[in-house]
Amino acid sequence: MKNIEFFLIILTTLIIFSQEQPYPVVLMHGIGANASTMNKVVEWIHELVGPDVYVKNVEIGNGYWDSMFNKMFDMVTDFCNQLKEDQELSKYPKINLIGYSQGSLITRGYVEYCNDPPVHNFITWSGPHEGVFGIPYVDWNWLDKLLREDCYIEEVQNSITFAQYWKDTLNYDVYLNKSIFLPYLNNEEKTKDPKIKQKIQSLNSFTLLMSTVDEVVNPKESAWFAFYDDKRENIIPYNQTLAYKEDWLGLRYLDENNRLNFYKTDCRHQDYPTDKCKDVFIEYTLPRLLN
């Protein structure tokens, strides 16, 4: 009997220790917002993944202001430094990462240029991965004029985040030569950076959510790495782009290995981190945080 009791104690101990703790989750908010907009997501993670899961809800500078008027690569660097210096994150071999809207680009920049600590599962919510080429529903006539006429001048590129992922397919060469952010992030330069591709390939999974009713990201399909053609008449699906066929980013590799996931939602762009879209979080994001 004592031997059986001892065996059961040992077995129970092994089971307990074999159960891996969920990886920490890092969040990055969108444009014109701050970390508080993601507070509801923090609550969901503690409720559904576990109360002890470490969640880092990142804000860069003055979130609302700096998310609009800043250099995107400076924000990527700040994000990298915050994660690198976080002593709690250093206790874990990997993290799970969620980027929302513009935060999807900052977080992808982290994966491509830093990835320390490394990302396990990467999830983006309506992120303008292929850029934007159209003004959101907001009634900012000055922004409309600025982006359509002066988007690629140095002063605008160095000060307005939105302009740094404005992708004018009617003047693609100008975009490629003058944009200071997106061509590098998407490895569109003539000389490709193999390290960028390797970092994306290292992901356990890359999950992309696109809203069918998105009024902010234009075109909404940019959230799936799809974009306008050179006449701005049709959307080229992600797997028909040259970037995919030549695998500049490593997306084709992930796709062929069943590690690239695409999901449609009916969440309005601004509703992702609210209770209106909690069911979407549970269906598409939660499984990645438990894996």
Give the active site residues: 101, 214, 269
Amino acid sitting at position 154 = E
| Omega within 30 of 0 (cis) for the link into 219 | yes
Contact of 130 with 235, CB cutoff 8 Å: no
CB atoms closer than 10 angstroms to residue 86: 17
* Cross-strand bridge partners of residue 13: none
Sequence-ordered list of residues with C-beta below 8 angstroms from that of 193, at least 6 positions apart, any chain: 187
For residue 20, give both structure tokens. Answer: 């891996």
| Omega within 30 of 0 (cis) for the link into 128 | no
What does the alpha-carbon distance between residue 215 and residue 279 come to, in Å, rounded to a whole number? 20
What does the alpha-carbon distance between residue 33 and residue 144 come to, in Å, rounded to a whole number? 20
Question: Whose CA is closest to 104, among 280, 231, 272, 274?
Answer: 272
Phi, psi angles (nearest 5°) of residue 179 = -70, 135
Contact of 164 with 158, CB cutoff 8 Å: no
* Cross-strand bridge partners of residue 261: 207
Q: Which pairs with CB-CB distance under 8 Å and at least 24 residues apart come from 5-8?
A: none
For residue 271, give both structure tokens. Answer: 């509703």
Q: Which helix (H) or strand (E) holds 10?
A: helix 2-18
